[in-house]
């Protein structure tokens, strides 16, 4: 199984267009690598690829990944897109893929209903871009040789779907993780997760590769940095640190562990900082755009 991180950042990427926090300044001045918004590509043969979440940066992501360049005059190695939620930073890139090349979109019925309710997604020719509903805990194969099993994880609806009250750790089709298996290897992709209950920690324990939500280091990070008012929990994302954070809750995972969907404010992006040292000591890696993993 070949796994390529197309975008390691959370919504807004790094640097974020309207932010001058330390990480964004360092990225603009070349002291930190830039990150585009969250997306991963997977293949079992290096020819046919599945994109997990279509970020608004997908045009540039595909352009800088030679394996995803057109094989001929027209066409693409991208055969399918699988969506884990309906966040703008995971669905907006579909609009870029509208130039009459076929691929399939796989998503839960709830996520597909969001696309159907917005006529702008009609620019994707339905005769070329089929939409396939997926069922929780039911495996499917978006390309031959790759089996994907979606499962619910604690999370919330997309920001633009929020009502007066928001359940931030709801279980259902609005936020899912993906278990990917091929050639005896198992990878999990969970870019958004609000909490790690015992059952989820146990489920992820057999991973050869875990790519997990690394949005914030501390729950109140955005408040502490003056960049926002919401906590990580309010955004539907677990913090890395703390007794209930992902570092503490996922110590039982046996395989390689990589943080993805990393917010521009996260101090773990500073390679010489104590947060980065803690991440490394716990056996985790901070994803970067272009990172490749072979299983």
DSSP designation for 59: H
Task: Give pLDDT, residue 111.
Answer: 98
What is the H or E stretch that residue 248 is in? helix 246-249
Give pLDDT tens digits for 141-164.
Answer: 999 999 999 999 999 999 999 998
DSSP 71: S
**pTM of the predicted protein model:** 0.97
- Is the separation of the CB atoms in 292 and 283 below 8 Å? no
pLDDT grade, residue 251 (50/70/90)? very high
CA separation for the pair 53, 93 (Å, rounded): 8
Instruction: Note the maximum CA span of the chain.
Output: 53
| Distance, CA of 245 to CA of 250 (rounded, Å) | 9
Contact 52, 178 (CB under 8 A): yes
Q: Compute the Cα dihedral for 117, 48, 143, 180 and give only its sign.
A: negative
What is the DSSP secondary-structure string of 13-57?
Answer: -BS-TT--SHHHHHHHTTSS--B-BSEEEEESSSSSEEEES--TT
Reading the block at residue 240, the tokens are: 């890395």
Q: Which top CATH class is 2-294?
A: alpha beta
Residue 164 confidence (pLDDT):
87
pLDDT at 83 over 90: yes
- The stretch 52-59 carries a mean pLDDT of 98
The Cα–Cα gap between 259 and 257 comes to 7
Q: Percent of the chain, pLDDT > 90?
A: 99
Query: Contact 221/232 with Cβ under 8 angstroms?
Result: yes
Q: What is the pLDDT of residues 205-249, one digit of tens each?
A: 999 999 999 999 999 999 999 999 999 999 999 999 999 999 999
The stretch 123-139 carries a mean pLDDT of 97
User: Which uninterrupted H or E stretch holds 182?
Assistant: strand 176-182
Q: How confident is the model at residue 20 (pLDDT cuts 50, 70, 90)?
A: very high
The residues near 267 (Cβ < 8 Å, ≥ 6 apart) are 23, 217, 221, 273, 275, 276
- The reported pLDDT for the residue numbered 244 is 97
Confidence of residue 17 (pLDDT cuts 50, 70, 90): very high
Q: Check: CB of residue 201 under 8 Å from CB of residue 249.
A: yes
User: How long a stretch of residues is the chain?
Assistant: 295
> How far does Cα 248 stand from its chain's mean position?
21
Give me the mean pLDDT over the 197-212 stretch.
Answer: 98
């Amino acid at each position: 199984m070949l796994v390529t991180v197309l975008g390691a950042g959370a919504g807004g990427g790094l640097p974020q267009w309207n932010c001058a926090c330390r990480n964004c300044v360092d990225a603009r001045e070349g002291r930190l690598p830039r990150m585009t918004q969250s997306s991963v590509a997977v293949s079992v043969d290096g020819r046919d690829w599945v994109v997990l979440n279509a970020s608004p940066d997908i045009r540039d992501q595909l352009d800088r990944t030679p394996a995803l360049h057109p094989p001929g005059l027209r066409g693409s190695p991208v055969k399918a897109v699988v969506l884990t939620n309906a966040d703008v930073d995971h669905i907006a890139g579909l609009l870029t893929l509208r130039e009459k090349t076929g691929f399939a979109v796989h998503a839960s019925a709830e996520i597909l209903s969001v696309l159907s309710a917005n006529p702008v997604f009609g620019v994707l020719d339905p005769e070329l871009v089929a939409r396939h509903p997926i069922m929780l805990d039911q495996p499917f194969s978006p390309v031959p040789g790759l089996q994907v099993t979606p499962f619910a994880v604690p999370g919330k609806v997309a920001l633009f779907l929020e009502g007066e009250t928001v359940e931030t750790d709801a279980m259902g089709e609005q936020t899912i993780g993906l278990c990917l298996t091929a050639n005896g290897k198992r990878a999990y992709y969970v870019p958004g997760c609000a909490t790690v209950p015992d059952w989820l920690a146990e489920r992820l324990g057999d991973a050869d590769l875990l790519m997990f939500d690394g949005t914030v280091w501390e729950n109140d990070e955005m408040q502490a940095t003056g960049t926002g008012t919401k906590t990580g929990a309010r955004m539907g994302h677990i913090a890395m640190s703390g007794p209930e954070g992902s570092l503490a809750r996922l110590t039982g995972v046996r395989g390689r562990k990589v943080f993805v969907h990393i917010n521009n404010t996260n101090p773990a992006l500073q390679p010489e900082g104590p947060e980065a040292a803690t991440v490394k000591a716990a056996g985790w890696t901070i994803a970067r755009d272009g990172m490749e993993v072979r299983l």
